Amino acid sequence: MRHHNSVFHDLLKRVPWSAFDRLVEEHGADKHVRRLSTRTQLIALLYGQLAGAVSLREIAGGLESHAARLYHLGARPASRSTLADANAKRSSAVFAGLFAELVARAGRGLRRAAGEATYLIDATGVRLSGAGSDWARFSHQACGAKVHIVYDALAERPIYAAVTPANVNDITAAKVMPIEAGATYVFDLGYYDFGWWARMDKAGCRIVTRFKSHTPLAVTREQPLNSNGTILSDRIGLLPARQAKNRKNPFGDPVREISVRTQTGKVLRLLTNDLDAPADEIADLYKRRWAIELFFRWVKQTLKIRHFLGNSENAVRIQIAAALIAYLLLRMAQADQTNVQSPLAFARLVRANLMHRRRTDSLTKPPPSPSNDTGQMTLSGLGF
């Protein structure tokens, strides 16, 4: 009988295992380990994400039931307690490093001119509770973390992720994000910092965001309007000399304010340092922020970052990294086929067939039939 790998095996072929082994060596993740290798831990966590498992016990039971097929993956079943210990103690840097490696490899096929990249910046909150979650507690009643994401709007995938306690301001996390010179960055009011804007402007980046209602603009020039009616005003001017009473504004270059009426009738004051692009283009760029909101919704509904397998900071970081790795593997596999266009539909097909012997590019086709090369006679051969 011809051997067919499982859908899970097919997905994991896209993991750069040589780079992963290097990360394991660099961080000493397998040092003095006897029972659960970092590779097995990663495979277990990815299985949990892709299968929709909601507990370590469910992951352990699922892996045990498919023990025969784990051999070809270089993994073996693991107990719930061993997985819990590994998530709590093994360095999350290995998994974060693998996510970064996958981002780099997935982006190699994207060919675009300098300045065409559009990145969306935002954060989403996740709730935590129970023992081990004190690192993320910011009141006696509230406890949670934030996932800060830079999302490539063209490639439709995250390119950077960081996890902080929920009480860390978005702009604080943004200041340590890598900045790509010449790219366009779109973000909302959580990233309102004139100094950060000035640093991005100096790097040749185009920024698109919103004015706060109380921020005045010293207008120096009015721009002509188009005739579609959604653009109410287009003005160039200077920001206030200070962002706060004791903080001097380092962003002294002219900026542009475009007032836009949305479909609901709300008026938005958009801010950009691009003084030349058509106002409609700037408005359309801001609308693209919706893509990162859809990404957050997709990840929370399809993968597992609502319910955590462990509440310690290390365990949360590992689980979020595993979810993002699973997302990239799904998107890469979907790009390698043409039958299923919807990411959600493709993810559901993968989940339904995860341990079946199928290829990810033929999930909508009938499963392969056993070969009759052994000489056994079939019913059809007897006329039935």
Cα(351)–Cα(354) distance, rounded to whole angstroms?
5
Q: What's the mean pLDDT when you consider all of the chain?
A: 88
Q: What pLDDT, in 10s, does the model give residues 287-342?
A: 999 999 999 999 988 888 878 888 899 999 999 999 999 999 999 999 898 899 89
- Of the chain, the percentage scoring pLDDT greater than 70 comes to 91
CA separation, residue 99 to residues 16, 80, 111, 159, 324 (Å): 10, 24, 21, 9, 7
Q: In the predicted model, what is the mean pLDDT of residues 117-133?
A: 87
pTM of the model: 0.88
Cβ partners under 8 Å of residue 255, min gap 6: 217, 236, 237, 238, 239, 271, 272, 273
Condensed to tens digits (0 to 9), the pLDDT of residues 263-287 reads: 888 999 999 999 999 999 999 999 9
Note whether 63 and 42 are within 8 A (CB). no
The mean pLDDT of 51-80, rounded to a whole number, is 89
At 226 the pLDDT is 76
> 25 pLDDT exceeds 50?
yes
Q: Which amino acid is at 145?
A: A
Q: Where does the pLDDT of residue 2 fall: very low under 50, low under 70, confident under 90, or very high at 90 and above?
A: very low
Place of tokens 């097919």: 10
Sheet holding 231-238, edge to edge: 157-165, 144-152, 118-127, 184-186, 206-210, 267-272, 255-261, 231-238, 218-222
Residue of 252, 230, 256, 225 whose CA lies nearest to 240: 252
How many other C-beta atoms lie within 10 A of the C-beta of residue 367? 12
pLDDT digits (tens, 9 = 90+) for 141-171: 778 899 999 999 988 999 999 999 999 999 9
